[in-house]
Amino acid sequence: MLYMTLIICFALSVFITPFIKKFAFLIGATDRPNQRKVHQTVMPRLGGLAIYISFMIGMLLVHPVNQFSLAILVGSFIILITGILDDLFELSAKYKLIGQLAAACIVVFWGNLQVDFINLPFGGQLQFGFLSIPFTIIWIVGITNSINLIDGLDGLAAGVSSIALITISGMAIIQGNFYVMAVGLIVLTSTIGFLIYNFHPASIFMGDTGALFLGYIISVLSLLGYKNVTFISFVIPVIILAVPISDTFFAILRRVIHKKPLGAPDKQHLHHCMLRMGYSHRQTVLLIYAMSAFFGLIAVIYSQARIGGAIFLIAVVIIMIEIIAEKIGLVGRNYRPILNILQTLRTNTVKNR
């Protein structure tokens, strides 16, 4: 039944998207070009509605159930409405945050999805106590926004989300977690159907309707697989989502260093930096896909590693992300602490020969 449902979700998304495109133009849900945006023509938004409708049909057909399912669906509807309103009226950051917090609180308080503790690698537990609620809410809102922030090129957010969903669903299969696997695959096939129209050159954008929904679902699914587990296991969703998380982290760091408001938009995100390096629109998207797939593979390897190997992989991933960020100027041209150290070491090595 699941296989047939996945085919239906994909086909439905492919079929619905052109109608959503016409509907978006009809109601004025369009994205106009400006100095900060890459596209040059007026584009229809609201494409995420096709993903959501296909997702809901899939959920009705398969009906995967656990104790969190109703709260997750209600939260997804709240986040959908928030995205639709933003695509129509371009809500301020404050009102979007209110919608995201409402969706997160539904899952945390009604669904009782909370990360209560983490088992530490060398024994003992890290109990979150009263911090478990804010920690879980921050995770959901943070990942939701990180997916939204990378939605700057044709097919970028949809593709990166699809790769994350493949990894999450694959690891759910390994763990025997049917609910996470089923929901992940339903969202995946619905997104891939939309991606046919969204890949460069796109004929429709997913808008905040899609980006917020995908970010919300991915954040919740990544928690469901690793609630109250070892520290090593909890790092897995962080690695899976390394691209959007690191892009968001460096965006915050960039604004702090340059003393700009955290909500201030700019053209310094990962995809902007790669475009300035001379990569084409399509090449940039495909390279970021490759990065996401690489981190997904690392997450799978990491999940099977022993403690020593897992800690080594964490160190490698962190250093790799930092070097890439410095190399492409993700924080700023003068922000190169690791590269400067490597340059100094290389210079000293040459002098000593």
Local structure of residue 230 (DSSP, 8 states): B
What the block records as the tokens of 287 is: 């390279």
3-state DSSP assignment of residue 205: coil
Shortest CA distance to 221 belongs to which of 289, 259, 172? 172
Cα–Cα distance, 221 to 168 (Å, whole number): 8
CA distances from 102 to 29, 106, 109 (A): 23, 6, 10
| Beta-carbon count within 10 A of 123 CB | 6
Pairing type for strands 43-44 and 30-31 reads: antiparallel
Q: Is 208 annotated as a binding residue?
A: yes
- For residues 86 and 96, the answer to whether their CB atoms sit within 8 Å is yes
Place of tokens 């991915």: 218
CA separation for the pair 88, 191 (Å, rounded): 21
- Max CA distance (Å), the chain: 71
For residues 204 and 195, is the Cβ–Cβ distance under 8 A?
no
Helix, strand, coil % in the chain, rounded to nearest 5 = 70, 5, 25
Rounded CA separation 49/166 (Å): 21
Binding residues for Mg(2+): 148, 208
Binding residues: 148, 208
